[in-house]
Chains A and B, each alone.
Chain A
Amino acid sequence: MPQLPASHFLYMVVYALLVSLVFATLLKDELRERLRTVATLFAGFIAAALAIGWLMYPFPL
Chain B
Amino acid sequence: MATKSTTAERPRAAAEPGRLALVCVLGWLIPGAGHLVQGRRDKGLTFLVTLPLMFAFGLWLQGRLFPFEWSDPLVFLGAIADRGIGLPYVFAWMADAGAGLVTAASYEYGNTFLMTAGLLNFLVILDAFDIAMGRK
Tell me, in angstroms, the Cα distance from A6 to B106 when the chains sit together.
Answer: 8
Task: Answer yes or no: A19 CB below 8 A from chain B CBs.
Answer: yes
Task: Answer yes or no: B66 CB below 8 A from chain A CBs.
Answer: no
Known contacts A22-B50, A25-B47; A6/B105 CB under 8 A: yes
Tell me, in angstroms, the Cα distance from A18 to B109 when the chains sit together.
Answer: 14
Known contacts A6-B105, A21-B46, A21-B50; A11/B61 CB under 8 A: yes
Residue-by-residue, is A1-45 near B (CB-CB < 8 Å gives 1, otherwise 0)? 100101010011011001101100110000100000000000000
Residue-by-residue, is B112-124 near A (CB-CB < 8 Å gives 1, otherwise 0)? 1100100010011
- Report yes or no: A25 in contact with B43, Cβ–Cβ below 8 A: yes
Task: Answer yes or no: B54 CB below 8 A from chain A CBs.
Answer: yes
Residue from A1, A12, A21 with most neighbouring chain B CB atoms (10 Å): A21
Contacts of B109 in A (CB 8 A): 8, 11-12, 15
Which residue of B46, B53, B61 is within 8 Å of A25 (Cβ)?
A: B46
Task: Answer yes or no: B30 CB below 8 A from chain A CBs.
Answer: no
Task: Answer yes or no: B51 CB below 8 A from chain A CBs.
Answer: yes
- Report yes or no: B112 in contact with A18, Cβ–Cβ below 8 A: no
Contacts of B62 in A (CB 8 A): 4
- Report yes or no: B60 in contact with A4, Cβ–Cβ below 8 A: yes
Interface residues, chain B, CB within 8 Å of chain A? Answer: 42-43, 46-47, 50-51, 53-54, 57, 60-62, 104-106, 109, 112-113, 116, 120, 123-124, 127
- 5 interchain pairs (CB within 8 A)? A4-B106, A12-B109, A19-B116, A21-B46, A22-B120
